[in-house]
Amino acid sequence: MKRRTAIRNLGLATGGLMLFPSCNFSEKRVAIALNKLQIDIKEEILLEAIIDTILPETDTPGGVALKVQNFVWVMMDDCKSPEKQESFLKGLRLFNPKVKEKHGDVFTDMDKAERLSVLKELMDDQTADKDLLNFLHTTKGLAVWGYKNTEYYMTQVMPYELIPGAFSYQTCKTIHSNEKINSNA
Partner 1 sequence: MPNFNIDSTKNNTFDAIVIGSGMSGGWAAKEFTEKGLKTLVLERGRDVTHIKNYPTTNMMPWELKHAGQVSYDLRQDNPIAARCYNFREDSQHFFTKDKEQPYVQKKPFDWIRAYQTGGKSLLWARQTQRLSDLDFEGPARDGFAVDWPIRYKDIAPWYSYVEKFVGISGEYNGLDVLPDGEFLKSMGLNCTEEHFRDIVAKKYKNQRHVIYGRCAHITKNKDIFMKQGRAMCQTRDLCRRGCPFGGYFSSNSSTLPWAQKTGNLSMKNDAVVHSIIYDDEKGKATGVRVIDANTKETTEYFASVIFVNASTFNSNMILLNSKSNRFPEGLGNDNRLLGKYIAFHNYRVSISGEYEGNLDKTTTGRRPTSAYVPRFRNVHKQETDFLRGYAAGFNASRQIHQDTNGLGESLKENLSNASYGNWNVGSHMMGETIPKEESTLSLDPEKTDQYGIPQLKINLDYDDNDEKMIKDYVEQFTEMFEAAGFKNIKAHDIPDKAPGLDIHEMGGVRMGHDPKTSLLNKWNQLHTCKNVYVTDGACMTSTSTQNPSLTYMALTARACDHAVKESKKG
Task: From residue 74, give the alpha-carbon distance in Å to each of 3, 31, 79, 80, 182.
Answer: 31, 13, 8, 10, 27
Quote the Cα angle for 13-26-37, to 5°: 100
State the Cα–Cα distance between residues 178 and 74, nearest whole angstrom.
39
Supply the minimum distance, in Å, between the C-beta of residue 107 and partner 1: 14
Count of residues interacting with partner 1 (CB under 8 A):
50
Question: Which range, of 13-21, 52-60, 94-102, 125-133, touches partner 1 by CB under 8 A?
Answer: 52-60
State the Cα–Cα distance between residues 40 and 43, nearest whole angstrom.
5
Establish if 146 lies at the interface with partner 1 (CB under 8 A): yes
- In the chain, the largest separation of any two C-alpha atoms, in whole Å, equals 61
Establish if 114 lies at the interface with partner 1 (CB under 8 A): no
Would you state the torsion angle of the CA atoms of residues 10, 16, 18, 19, taken in this order, to the nearest 10 degrees? Answer: 150
Which of 72, 87, 139, 140: binder of partner 1 (CB under 8 A)? 140
Question: Which range, of 23-31, 38-46, 101-109, 163-171, touches partner 1 by CB under 8 A?
Answer: 163-171
Establish if 144 lies at the interface with partner 1 (CB under 8 A): yes
x-or-dash string of contact with partner 1, 2-41, rule CB under 8 A: ----------------------------------------
User: In terms of Cα–Cα distance, which of 76, 80, 103 is closest to 92?
Assistant: 76
- b/e map of 81-116 (b: 16 or more CB within 10 Å)? eeeebebbbebbbbbeebbeeeeeeebbebeeeebe
Which of 81, 126, 127, 178: binder of partner 1 (CB under 8 A)? 81
Using the minimum distance from each CB to partner 1, give the nearer residue, 2 or 173: 173
Supply the minimum distance, in Å, between the C-beta of residue 96 and partner 1: 18
Residues near partner 1, by CB under 8 A: 53-56, 58, 60, 62, 71, 74-75, 78-81, 116, 119-120, 123, 140, 144-151, 153-154, 157-158, 160, 162-175, 181-183, 185
